[in-house]
Amino acid sequence: MRSKRIFHTVESHTEGMPTRVVTGGVGTFPGATMEERRQWFIANSDHLRRLLMFEPRGHSAMSGAILQPPIRPDADWGVVYIEVSGCLPMCGHGTIGVATVLVETGMVEVTEPVTTIRLDTPAGLVVCEVAVRDGAAESVTIRNVPAYTDRLDAKVDVPGWGTVTYDLAYGGNFYAILDAGQLDLRVDVAQKDQLLAAGLAIMDAINEHDAPVHPENPEINVCHHVQLVDPGSDARRSRHAMAIHPGWFDRSPCGTGTSARMAQLFTRGELPLDTDFVNESLIGSRFVARLVGESSVGTLPAVIPTVTGRAWLTGTAQYFLDPTDPFPEGFLL
């Protein structure tokens, strides 16, 4: 066996969506904050993301997280989130996966019935409350970074789809949110090709004509997620298809997307604080979430979301890079 690099991972999935947790083989990235580490990684080591997320080691909907020592003194671990679409500021399903991995591999001190894990993420501090029984993580509730509404009832001309009305909210990433019914679509696996085509066209149009910019971090300045909501969804229970750049669906209900959806519903006066909200994915998996307080992001009003979901470990792995491998950074079809 020949290998230039060896990466150690713990594999998991959160409500159907994979999180490949990288536990060794990458070292500590430079930076005074986790956001600086994320930017350093993008500029200097993004080939590692492509190697681990793209085929043949990954696939077109692969997602992962790289563990780092924390920078904040009040955090237990640092995390850099990676997926096919890029290097994210925050990932809800990935955080649930990371917390489950940390508990079930003994990488944190485990207490029952609840183990608290504080994660230093590029988007800010995220607190995870892991429900533990007999050493196993049964569910994870994350207290996410503040979520806010960027715009309501915005319109954009989308080639092939006409003028589309959408809301845009932030829950760790930016999300365009719209009723799929205005496109004559339902959230059904049978219509997945049309849903994906519409979502990608809408995000391209938004980024071309009115790309969002985070008021406190101008590096967060793109919409790579479109939440196509099934007609009949409401502030108690919502079903959606989450189209993601460059062309795939979130299999989970999407933690940061759920946070953004609740911010949108709160702004519209439809979802009060301390009220359960059930968010369902295209494959039928669910998160239960709620808003537990108000905050601000820059000068904008914001809310504090919590999201509860489950993750399962699926294996451990070591990935190699043979010096003669013709795809040292993988490939994406």
330/302 Cα distance (integer angstroms) = 39
Confirm if 265 and 179 have CB atoms less than 8 A apart.
Answer: no
SS3 of residue 117 by DSSP: strand
Q: Which of 87, 91, 128, 223 is catalytic?
A: 91
Rounded Cα distance between 170 and 263, Å, is: 8
Phi-psi region of 31 (alpha: psi -120 to 50; beta: other; left: phi over 0): left
Distance CA 202, CA 146 (A): 25
Neighbours of 267 (CB within 10 A): 19
Of these residues, 87, 128, 223, 254, which one is catalytic?
254
Give the ranges where 29-91 is alpha helix by DSSP (H). 34-44, 46-53
User: Is 254 among the catalytic positions?
Assistant: yes
| Burial category of 73 from C-beta neighbours within 10 Å (exposed 0-12, middle 13-18, buried 19 and up) | exposed
Catalytic residue flag (residue 87): no
Positions annotated as catalytic residues are 91, 254
